[in-house]
Amino acid sequence: MDRHEELPLEAGRPDAVPAEARRAILAWYAERGRPLAFRRTRDPYAVLVSEAMAQQTQAARAAEAWEPFLARFPTVETLAEAPLADVLRQWAGLGYDRRALALWQAARIIVAEHGGRVPADIVALQALPGVGPYTARAVVALAYGLPVGAVDVNVRRVLGRVVAGDATALRPPDLQAVADASVPHDDPGGWTHALMDIGATVCKPRNPRCGDCPARPWCRYAAAPPDPDTAAPARTHAARESPAPFHATNRWLRGRIMTRLRAEPAPGWAVIEAPLGAHDDTAIEAALAGLVRDGLVERHATGRARLCGS
């Protein structure tokens, strides 16, 4: 008997994913799941690193950076003891450098308050810098094998469509209840990866490939997809406000500054001169000030800059 048949949801909530659908999804993942490097481990620290990297970064790109990062910082203790500048340098190419700072801070807390062991408790995990509800549940499911549902944007879309016919139909508490009730107790990690892969490769936001989805026979969205003739018309290109080119954004500028500082041998101070792309002195000063506030960069009295912890 599927163990989830013993875990009914509260009255009025949608059902869990049917047992037959769970088996089909896991079989699909066993055959077609992406062979990402970090899926070969259940070490809690390695899993935490992979989840930090995969936030706001494509999984394949995170997987490429994961092994070199662990080679440089193989344990939570080595990460906690490392200068922050070394961690920021190793993070090169992943973007959103505040994640590296948060991961380093989390490692220091894990060593100081948890004896160097990544917590197996969701509440304790969420108390760590950079760890939200999804990351905490992913670590618990993937590393510790506990039957909890980790809900990211891909999982939200898959579960919402399968059990309710629409990616946004379920209120967050109901969605989490469905996610938790749907986890196969004998393979929480495989289930977590499987839902992520289906959402990333098959059950896409637009033009989902329902014919390739293992959950199609049980999916309410596939049974009654939106009628293209009655669906709300998409906004035309002319009606949308064109975004600024990426190289003109503050995010691009921050990235270029961090690249420049990573290249500076420690503990040297670098002069960041204008122009950087289309950015003048005023824009550079504003970007540097933001990086200082974020704890990533420090300034010298002369105006030079370097990575924090150099």
Where residue 177 sits, what CATH number does that domain have? 1.10.1670.10
**Could you confirm whether 113 is annotated as catalytic?**
no
Q: Count structural domains, the chain.
A: 3
Residue 92 included in any domain: yes
Q: Which of residues 144, 165, 182 is at a domain's end?
A: 144
Query: DSSP string covering the chain, please?
Result: --GGGG-PPPTTSPPPPPHHHHHHHHHHHHHH----GGGG---HHHHHHHHHHHTTS-HHHHHHHHHHHHHHS-SHHHHHHS-HHHHHHHTTTS--THHHHHHHHHHHHHHHHHTT---SSHHHHHTSTT--HHHHHHHHHHHH--------HHHHHHHHHHHHSSTT-S-HHHHHHHHHHHS-TT-HHHHHHHHHHHHHHTS-SSS--GGG-TTGGG-HHHHSPPPTTTSPPPPPTTTSPPPPPGGGSHHHHHHHHHHHHHTSPTT--B--PSPBTTB-HHHHHHHHHHHHHTTSEEE-TTS-EEETT-
Q: Which of residues 125, 144, 163 is at a domain's end?
A: 144
Distance of CA 161 to the CA centre of its chain: 21
Cis amide linkage into residue 68, ω under 30° from 0: no
Amino acid occupying residue 32: R
Task: Give pLDDT, residue 310.
Answer: 85
Residue 60 included in any domain: yes
Q: What is the average pLDDT across 197-218?
A: 96
288, pLDDT greater than 60: yes
Residue 230 included in any domain: no
86, pLDDT greater than 90: yes
Q: Is 58 found in the same domain as 137? A: yes
Residue 233 included in any domain: no
Of 34, 27, 10, 20, nearest to 154 by C-alpha is 34
Q: Is 161 found in the same domain as 98? A: no
Beta-carbon contacts of 223 under 8 Å, excluding residues fewer than 6 positions away, are 165
Task: Give pLDDT, residue 254.
Answer: 95
Q: Is 53 found in the same domain as 175? A: no
- Band the pLDDT of 227: cuts 50, 70, 90: low
Q: Is 162 found in the same domain as 302? A: no
pLDDT in tens, 46-63: 999 999 999 989 999 999
Residue 136 included in any domain: yes
Q: Is 135 found in the same domain as 48? A: yes
182, pLDDT greater than 60: yes
Residue 22 included in any domain: yes
Range of the domain at 63: 43-144
Beta-carbon contacts of 233 under 8 Å, excluding residues fewer than 6 positions away, are none
Q: Is 156 found in the same domain as 140? A: no
Residue 267 included in any domain: yes
Task: Give pLDDT, residue 248.
Answer: 81
In whole angstroms, give the CA distance from residue 117 to residue 94: 25
Q: Is 158 found in the same domain as 116? A: no
Q: Is 207 found in the same domain as 137? A: no
Query: DSSP string covering 88-128, please?
Result: HHHTTTS--THHHHHHHHHHHHHHHHHTT---SSHHHHHTS
Q: Is 63 found in the same domain as 28? A: no
SS (H, E, C) 184-234: CCCCHHHHHHHHHHHHHHCCCCCCCCHHHCCCHHHCHHHHCCCCCCCCCCC
Q: Is 194 found in the same domain as 136? A: no
Q: What is the average pLDDT across 166-171?
A: 93
Q: Which of residues 144, 164, 198 is at a domain's end?
A: 144
> Which of these is catalytic: 6, 51, 64, 285?
51
